[in-house]
Chain A
Amino acid sequence: MLQESTSDRDFTQLKSRNETLIFFRFIAGIILLFTSALFYFVDLGYSSFPIFFVGICVICYNSIFFVLNKNTTNTSRFSQFTFFQVFLDWLSLFFVAMFTGFVSSPSLFLFPLYAGMSGIMLSKKMTFYLTSIAIVLILLLGLLSIRATLPTLKDSVIIIGSSFFYGLVLVCASLLGLWASKELRERLEIAIILKEQFYKENDRLNTIYNVALSVNSQLEVYKVLRHLSDSLASISPVSACVIRLISDDRKTVSVLEASGVSAEYGKSHTVNLADDRIDVECLKAKLPIFVPNVLKDPRFLYKNEAKVEGLISMLAVPIIHLDEVLGVIRCYTKSYYEFTNDDVEFVALIASQAALSIVNAKAYEKVVELDKSRTSFIRVVTHELRAPMAAVQSILQIVLDGYTGEVSEKQRSLFERANDRVTGLLRLVSELLEFEGASAKDRDFEEIDLRKIMTDVVFELAPKADVKHIRIKFIPSGDNLKLIGWKDGIHRVFENFVDNAIKYTKPNGSVSVNMHFENGHVITNIIDNGIGIPKESIPRLFTEFYRAQNAKQEEVQGTGLGLAISKKIISIHNGDISVNSVLGSGTTFTILLPTGTNFF
């Protein structure tokens, strides 16, 4: 992976260098054309045509290179291609010098300049070849210069001397170029390493953030650990991650989650803690353990399996919460890797998140269990309570109905009082049972018509209202008063509120119910002009067994469970309930039930 990216980088670098070369070469070609024009119009002792010709040649071959450079994708050809370009440039330079006075040509300074440039741009090997060619060309220029001018011996020595001098300058320029390019490369590499490091740290920060997020938002430990092991396994150089949990009795350790390995390797299983020396050491020392090569470490249990998976180095980090080791996170790499302190710190941070999640989940499980046992306890107790009370009532009824002989008025009144008390108790037990039942999840949900249910409720309770001369009206509006819900539950809720409204309204008062659809909710208002609810009682109104002081004073029968049951049923429907009350003048209960909830 790393290698591939390096050659990719080289490729783009070569390509952009070629582009620079080609750009400057176009300028050089144009300058040559201008120079030839200058020579044509101003007599400087040089002939114009050869320069013009070289300029045209440069522009021509440069155009070809321009096209080639754009279309080449093959890396190996690229270096040959660059070599060829520079070679042609040397030739052009050679001709320019040849036509402008050989060794004494003013263009000669271009030789070391170009040598320095190619030293920066090309590889060491290529610079060596091209510089050699350039030196040969300069020497050739010297020789040609001698031949063309047929100078004196002294002049020849000067010519040869200056050729050597230029050759030397050329070599120096190339070396300078190479050195500069090496420096540049090194800095570039440092920059690249820093960039990679930055990305790595960024990845890690992201991982920590996401893991923290999932720990805070998830109570299901499996989901969190899954996320955690996936995250770890995706962070270079780690390629696999296994999370092992130590049992509460510290006798066994089980593989809970695994990422980056085959299903076979990662399948959950449990082993004796004592058998796994790495876990034991982790547990004892509470410190991370680094295993350079799992295949060679005698403490590592799964050598054959690890061989198949290609796992080499391993870092085992204990999951610690409040000084207690809950498990171990194992990170594997698929090539030899020396985990750094940074790596260890990072995995330890993730491990601490894992610890939190495990502790949270355990606490949650306990709460759920407690809730379950509380529910079943209440069920058993209420059944046990109800059976004898039902028997008592049945027996009282037998006596009251005269099946055991004549009952005197006094006896009847006493038996009736006893019967009433038992009836009250029985209602309490029923409501308790219902309250627990209201939280059960497995209900029958069906399409229900709230208008019909409320109509039934009002009809059922009308006789009760009549007794107190309370006028009761139901005003539904619109048709969209249906939703998917629990019919008996909603019936119970409506009955509860309307019944309460009647109960807490003084004789000759009125109760009105209206119902309409608004913003995806069926909104039901139950309005009475009864005794009202004291402000301080409102927050506790929906609490089990709570009854407002004035409600108790009214001596109206009630168990304090009705509203709590209603609230539970409404919350099963994802609904909401609110209350608005003025003491002494009346109360409005508003029930919001969303129509969009799908329970299937």
Chain B
Amino acid sequence: MKKILIIDDDTDMVEAMKIALESVGYNVNSAPNGTLGLQELLNVKPDLVILDVMMETDTEGFNVAWAIRSDDENSKYTAFKNIPILMITAVGQEKKMKFDPKKDQDFLPVNDFVEKPVRPADLIAKVAKYLG
């Protein structure tokens, strides 16, 4: 069974995603902030990470993503360097912009974006794309 780690401080949001993802058979764990999220990453060893952009600070989500993708050889997260990351964001909606993961990956170390509010079918489709 594939494991997914959701790092988000909004427990209701986590709950909603959890219900959707578990319904199609994924094992879902969660963490409420970046620091605990990185700890859970090492404990759970997930196959995919879902990250909220904004937790306690505007950039916490990005910082977690950069930590996972770090090029530093001594990084604790080297094993997860290439793990698929989905980022949950309301930014696209706010700026009326449509993310292009291929283009945005140059500066954002994530594979794809999930728009808030989450549509379960979309979320499942995007996760399935990376986990098969």
- A residues near B, CB below 8 A? 383, 386-395, 397-398, 401, 403-404, 426, 430, 433-434, 437, 488, 491-492
Contact = CB atoms under 8 A, between A and B. Distances in A.
Given A390-B90, A401-B120, A401-B121, A395 B97 contact: no
A398 B120 contact: yes
B90 A397 contact: no
B20 interface: yes
Nearest to B24: A403
Nearest to B119: A397
A488 to B, nearest CB: 6
Contact of B17 (A393, A394, A434, A488): A394
A393 B118 CA distance: 8
B128 to A, nearest CB: 15
A10 to B, nearest CB: 78
Interface stretch (B8-16, B34-42, B59-67, B100-108): B8-16
A367 B95 CA distance: 27
Contacts of A403: 19-20, 23, 120
B54 interface: yes
A458 to B, nearest CB: 16
Contacts of B54: 383
Nearest to B16: A394
Nearest to A431: B94
B96 interface: yes
Contacts of B75: none
B94 A395 contact: no
A322 B129 CA distance: 72
Contact of B12 (A395, A426, A491): A395
Interface size class of B (residues with CB under 8 A): 20 to 34
Nearest to A423: B117
A167 to B, nearest CB: 108
A430 B17 contact: no
A491 B96 contact: yes
Max chain B CB contacts within 10 Å: which of A386, A397, A437? A397
Interface of B: 10, 12-13, 15-17, 19-20, 23, 54, 90, 93-97, 116-121
Contacts of A397: 16, 117-120
A393 B19 CA distance: 14
Nearest to B116: A390
Contacts of A388: 10, 12
Given A394-B17, A403-B23, A488 B95 contact: yes
24 contacts: A386-B90, A386-B116, A388-B10, A388-B12, A389-B117, A390-B10, A390-B116, A391-B12, A392-B117, A393-B117, A394-B12, A394-B16, A394-B117, A394-B118, A395-B12, A397-B16, A397-B119, A398-B20, A398-B120, A403-B23, A433-B94, A434-B95, A437-B94, A437-B95
A492 B95 CA distance: 9
A390 B89 CA distance: 10
A444 to B, nearest CB: 11
A470 B13 CA distance: 40
A391 B119 CA distance: 11
A394 B96 contact: no
Contact of A398 (B19, B93, B96): B19
Nearest to B15: A395
A395 B121 contact: no
A390 B17 CA distance: 12
Contacts of B117: 389-394, 397, 426
A488 B121 contact: no
B96 A387 contact: no
Contacts of B94: 430, 433-434, 437
Nearest to B97: A488
B92 to A, nearest CB: 11
